[in-house]
Structure 1
Amino acid sequence: MSEQQPLAGPSQRIDKWLFFARIFKSRTLAQQHIVSGRVRINGKPGKQPSAIVRPGDVLDITLPNHDMKLVVRQPGTHRGPYEQAKLLYEDQSPPRQARDALTAFEQAQRLPGSGRPTKRERRQLDRLMDGED
């Protein structure tokens, strides 16, 4: 028989907990974030979706627009409404930077190649396609 360490209280897989806490829309999405190293458990990267979380664990989650710092309060049993999901964790995240706090220049910027081309870009494309250059 193999020796197993006793569990200190209730525990749950990290991918299930993130799904039940409504941090991610699906377990698959949660698993992808965990494997890519964007979820840290108590300061250490959660390398596998099967990693165990217990009450008191601190999760650092890196999302595209902001970072979250959550303290696990209890394991979840199912994915319920937001009001129930809030009871699973304590949010210690820094406040999000409000869009109003951004300068007008930062708000107007867009990623190169995204959206509709500008007049200048359209003219350059026309010259390229027509062979004038």
Structure 2
Amino acid sequence: MVHVLGSRILLRPTDPQRSRDFYGRALGLAIAREFGTGPERGTVYFLGGGFLEVSGRSDVPPSPALRMWLQVADVHAAYEELRGKNVDVLRPPQEEPWGLVEMWIADPDGVRIALVEVPEHHPLRYRP
């Protein structure tokens, strides 16, 4: 068995500064650490229970199969805030058949990101 001690998503953007602006300024993710120098330096952001590392550079955008799922306290407030920052909102918040309230956005390279609110009545929150 592999004993995992930590984890992070590694993202190699086509334009590192544009991606740092998106994750750091538009989404407002807190920085866990930075390393290296220059335009392709690494920035590691907190993602709740995990991390996102934006470092290096790629000639092609990440695969469309890559998706992120970020739980937020209030998805409607996040929607209003991100619209005001001209973030590419792919779909506004709506309650899904499985009970979560989800909206979808995209980062500058087109990586799809679900912002998810777990309502009070949902089994992920409810503890009898």
Q: TM-score, normalised by structure 2?
A: 0.31
Report the structure, 1 or 2, having the larger helix content: 1
Bigger radius of gyration: 1
Could you say which structure has the greater relative contact order, defined with CA pairs below 8 angstroms and 6 or more residues apart? 2
Q: TM-score, normalised by structure 1?
A: 0.30
